[in-house]
Amino acid sequence: MDQPVTVRLSQPIQAHGESHTELTFRPPTGKDFRDAGASRLPDGAADTMWDYRLIGGCCGVPPSTIDAMPVRDVLKLNRILRDFLADTMDETSSPPTTAADGSGDAA
Protein backbone atom coordinates (compact mmCIF):
# COMPACT_ATOMS: atom_id res chain seq x y z
CA MET A 1 0.00 0.00 0.00
CA ASP A 2 1.39 3.36 -0.92
CA GLN A 3 -1.76 5.48 -0.75
CA PRO A 4 -3.52 6.94 2.31
CA VAL A 5 -6.36 4.86 3.75
CA THR A 6 -9.49 6.44 5.23
CA VAL A 7 -10.65 4.56 8.31
CA ARG A 8 -14.23 4.91 9.58
CA LEU A 9 -14.28 4.72 13.36
CA SER A 10 -16.88 2.81 15.36
CA GLN A 11 -17.53 5.94 17.43
CA PRO A 12 -16.36 9.57 17.21
CA ILE A 13 -13.10 10.55 18.87
CA GLN A 14 -11.75 13.89 20.04
CA ALA A 15 -8.42 15.11 18.66
CA HIS A 16 -7.06 18.64 18.67
CA GLY A 17 -10.37 19.92 20.03
CA GLU A 18 -12.43 18.47 17.17
CA SER A 19 -14.66 15.43 16.84
CA HIS A 20 -13.68 12.88 14.16
CA THR A 21 -15.69 9.96 12.79
CA GLU A 22 -12.86 8.85 10.52
CA LEU A 23 -9.09 9.16 10.25
CA THR A 24 -6.86 9.24 7.23
CA PHE A 25 -3.89 6.91 7.68
CA ARG A 26 -1.06 7.95 5.37
CA PRO A 27 1.90 5.69 4.58
CA PRO A 28 4.69 5.96 7.19
CA THR A 29 7.84 7.89 6.33
CA GLY A 30 11.36 7.69 7.66
CA LYS A 31 10.60 10.70 9.85
CA ASP A 32 7.62 8.84 11.35
CA PHE A 33 9.95 5.98 12.27
CA ARG A 34 12.47 8.37 13.82
CA ASP A 35 9.75 10.23 15.74
CA ALA A 36 8.26 6.94 17.02
CA GLY A 37 11.61 5.97 18.53
CA ALA A 38 12.89 2.45 19.04
CA SER A 39 10.45 -0.42 18.58
CA ARG A 40 12.30 -2.41 21.25
CA LEU A 41 13.08 -1.60 24.85
CA PRO A 42 16.65 -1.96 26.15
CA ASP A 43 15.81 -5.43 27.51
CA GLY A 44 14.67 -6.56 24.03
CA ALA A 45 10.95 -6.53 24.81
CA ALA A 46 8.61 -4.94 22.28
CA ASP A 47 7.69 -1.32 23.03
CA THR A 48 3.89 -1.35 22.69
CA MET A 49 3.80 2.45 22.62
CA TRP A 50 5.87 2.37 19.40
CA ASP A 51 2.80 1.32 17.40
CA TYR A 52 0.73 4.05 19.05
CA ARG A 53 3.34 6.71 18.29
CA LEU A 54 3.69 5.56 14.68
CA ILE A 55 -0.08 5.25 14.12
CA GLY A 56 -0.68 8.63 15.76
CA GLY A 57 1.95 10.29 13.58
CA CYS A 58 0.52 8.78 10.40
CA CYS A 59 -3.06 9.71 11.36
CA GLY A 60 -2.24 13.15 12.78
CA VAL A 61 -3.48 12.42 16.30
CA PRO A 62 -1.60 12.09 19.60
CA PRO A 63 -1.17 8.67 21.27
CA SER A 64 -3.59 9.83 23.99
CA THR A 65 -6.35 9.92 21.35
CA ILE A 66 -5.57 6.34 20.38
CA ASP A 67 -5.65 5.41 24.09
CA ALA A 68 -9.24 6.65 24.26
CA MET A 69 -10.42 4.68 21.19
CA PRO A 70 -12.39 1.46 21.39
CA VAL A 71 -10.04 -1.49 20.98
CA ARG A 72 -11.74 -2.52 17.71
CA ASP A 73 -10.62 0.79 16.14
CA VAL A 74 -7.11 0.47 17.57
CA LEU A 75 -6.82 -3.03 16.11
CA LYS A 76 -8.12 -1.80 12.76
CA LEU A 77 -5.44 0.93 12.70
CA ASN A 78 -2.80 -1.57 13.79
CA ARG A 79 -3.75 -3.89 10.89
CA ILE A 80 -3.37 -1.00 8.46
CA LEU A 81 0.05 -0.19 9.92
CA ARG A 82 1.07 -3.84 9.52
CA ASP A 83 -0.19 -3.79 5.90
CA PHE A 84 1.90 -0.70 5.16
CA LEU A 85 4.96 -2.31 6.77
CA ALA A 86 4.41 -5.70 5.11
CA ASP A 87 4.20 -4.08 1.68
CA THR A 88 7.43 -2.21 2.39
CA MET A 89 9.15 -5.41 3.53
CA ASP A 90 7.95 -7.24 0.39
CA GLU A 91 9.48 -4.51 -1.77
CA THR A 92 12.82 -4.51 0.03
CA SER A 93 13.24 -8.27 0.49
CA SER A 94 12.92 -9.30 -3.15
CA PRO A 95 16.01 -11.07 -4.46
CA PRO A 96 17.96 -9.22 -7.15
CA THR A 97 17.14 -10.08 -10.73
CA THR A 98 19.94 -11.78 -12.65
CA ALA A 99 20.40 -12.48 -16.31
CA ALA A 100 20.21 -16.04 -17.62
CA ASP A 101 23.97 -15.96 -18.29
CA GLY A 102 24.68 -15.22 -14.61
CA SER A 103 26.17 -11.80 -15.33
CA GLY A 104 23.88 -10.15 -12.82
CA ASP A 105 22.41 -7.81 -15.39
CA ALA A 106 18.73 -8.27 -16.02
CA ALA A 107 17.61 -7.99 -19.61
pLDDT at 87 over 60: yes
Q: Look at 31-40, 72-81, 93-102 and tell me which has the smallest mean pLDDT.
A: 93-102
pTM of the entire structure? 0.73
Give the model confidence (pLDDT) of 26-63 as tens digits: 999 989 988 888 777 677 677 778 888 999 999 999 88
Confidence of residue 80 (pLDDT cuts 50, 70, 90): very high
Q: How far apart are CA 52 and CA 95, in angstroms?
A: 32
Long-range own/partner contacts, residues 30-39 (CB < 8 A, 24 or more apart): 32/57, 32/58
